[in-house]
Amino acid sequence: MKNPSISTIIIIICLLIIGLYAMGEVNYFASKVAAEKNYTSPVIVIPNIGIEEKINNHSLNQGVLSEPAGNVPIKNSIILYGHRTLQGSPFLRLNDVSMGDSLVLEWPGVGEVKYTVINKKVVPANYQLQPSGNNIYLITCDPIGSTENRLILEGQFQGQGPINEAILHNNPQETNALMITALFLIVGLIFSFFYPKDNRIYILATVLIISAILFYCCINPFPSELIYEKILFLNGGM
């Protein structure tokens, strides 16, 4: 068998890097699905950009984080943090939310709490937020791929209604881990098929090995931050 060419080695390295990112996301979604089988978790819904995310009070690495953890809608202001990139990117499209858009919390024990966006601003990363009354604040990094600034949306409380149980029991991200794995495998196989025959076996083997690892992570996930801590330098330290 012919030794791999320099270009093949470079492509294998690129596949390994892409595989690491895919593994991080697969582990994130697979772990998150297991954690969200607890239907007492509140949910943030932003209809205009299709966000429907469960909220946790443990870690930003588990999705949308509510902090302080003891705050309750209507009684307190709610502050939600979410990643713009990686870790599921729950707030990726937060910049597309406009003034006057609706924000909805489905909060067990409280009900459906509705807010209207009244403020949208970008501030330095060291900005100290001063929450007001019973409003809601959504915070993420800005611009995409950078931690230089923070994008903050403020929603004003509008009213309360009965909770939507269907949303609490729904998990629209349940198949994301498998979809990422399948996509990597399919694209990798197609790429391998069109790769020069004399080095095709190396690309095919790399794709199959990484795909097998991704499938294993779908079944037996581990904390995704263990991967992201190792590849942090690839994002400029983000």
- The strand pair at 51-56 and 64-66 is best described as parallel
Q: pLDDT tens-digit profile of 11-54?
A: 999 999 999 999 989 988 887 776 666 667 899 999 988 888 88
Q: pLDDT tens-digit profile of 114-161?
A: 999 999 999 998 998 988 889 999 999 988 878 889 999 999 999 999
The pair of three-digit structure tokens given for residue 168, joined into one six-digit string: 């609490």
DSSP 29: H
The pair of three-digit structure tokens given for residue 117, joined into one six-digit string: 């966006």
Asked if residue 65 lies in contact with residue 71, where contact means CB atoms within 8 angstroms, the answer is no
Q: pLDDT tens-digit profile of 184-194?
A: 999 999 999 99
- The strand pair at 149-161 and 136-142 is best described as antiparallel
In one-letter notation, the amino acid at residue 231 is I
The domain spans of the chain are: 6-32+174-235, 38-169
Query: Among all chains, which residue has been given the structure tokens 């406009």?
Result: 98
The pair of three-digit structure tokens given for residue 10, joined into one six-digit string: 């470079």
224 vs 29: CA distance, rounded Å: 9
User: Does residue 3 register a pLDDT over 70?
Assistant: yes
Q: What is the CATH number of domain 38-169?
A: 2.40.260.10
